[in-house]
Amino acid sequence: MTDYIDDSDFGTEYEEIFNDWYEIEGARKIKELSRQLRTFFNYKTEVIRYRFRSNLISLDNKSTTKFLTRKQKVESLSNEFITLLKKIKKQGHSLEEGIQSLYYENNNSQIDKLSAITEKLSILIHIFSEENIHDHPRFLKFVIVLAKNICLVKKCLYAQFREFYKELEINYHGLEGELDNLLEQTPRDKIKKSIKQLEERLTT
C-alpha cells in the first residue's frame, strides 16, 4: 500500500503566509515612496516660502538645540556619504557605474553600508522638510543637493523603483536651480564655510 501525503493544506498555508508578507511589504514600499514625495513637496513649499519671505527672518530654528543637533548630524553623515561615494566612483566611470560594479563584484558590505547611510540621511532630510528650513537658505540649498544625490543612489540600489527616483532626482535638480536664482541676491560672503565645503564636495 502506498502512503499518500495530502499537501494541499500546506500549500494553502504557504500561500496565505506569502500573501500576508506581500501585502505587508507592498504597504511598506508604498508608504516609503509616499514619504519621498511628501519630502519633495515640503521642500518645494520651503523654496516658495523663501521666495515670498519678509525681510524679518525668524530666529526660532537658530535658537533651538534640537535643530542645531540635527543639522550637525546631517553634516557629519554627509561627510561619510560623500567619502563613500568617492571610493565607489572609479576613475573614468560615473557614480552609477561604480554602484553597479558593487553588484557585479558581490560587494555586499559596501552595498549594505551605502544603503544604511542613505536611509539615515533620507530620514533626517524628511525631518528637516517639516521645519522652517527656509529661514536657513544656504542649508536649504545644501539639503536639496543632498536629496538629489540620494535619489541618484537610490535609483541604482532599488532597480524596481528606478524610474520613480529618476524623476524625483530631476525634480530636485529643478528645485536646486530655482533656489540658486533666488540666492544670487544674497551676498556670497554670508555662506557658512562648512556648508559651502560640503556643497562643493557634493557637486564635484
- The pLDDT value recorded for residue 67 is 84
3 assigned to some structural domain: no
- Cell matching residue 163: 524610474
At 136, the amino acid letter reads H
Number of domain units in the chain: 1
2 assigned to some structural domain: no
**Res 189 pLDDT > 70:** no
Check residue 89 and report its DSSP letter: S
Angle at 102 between CA 99 and CA 107, to 5 degrees: 145
pLDDT, mean over the chain: 81
Q: How far is CA 27 from CA 20, 24, 62, 132, 202, in A?
A: 11, 5, 37, 30, 33
**Res 32 pLDDT > 80:** yes
**pLDDT above 70 coverage of the chain, percent:** 72
154 assigned to some structural domain: yes
- The pLDDT value recorded for residue 139 is 93
- Is the model's pTM score more than 0.75? yes
**Res 57 pLDDT > 90:** no
> What average pLDDT does the segment 106-131 reach?
93
117 assigned to some structural domain: yes
- The pLDDT value recorded for residue 80 is 94
22 assigned to some structural domain: yes
155 assigned to some structural domain: yes
1 assigned to some structural domain: no
- The pLDDT value recorded for residue 30 is 81
Closest CA to 105 of 84, 120, 90: 90
Which has more confidence, 115 or 67? 115
Q: Range of 84's domain?
A: 8-203
Q: What distance in Å separates the CA atoms of residue 78 and residue 49, rounded to the nearest whole number?
A: 25
Among 12-21, 60-69, 109-118, the least confident range: 12-21
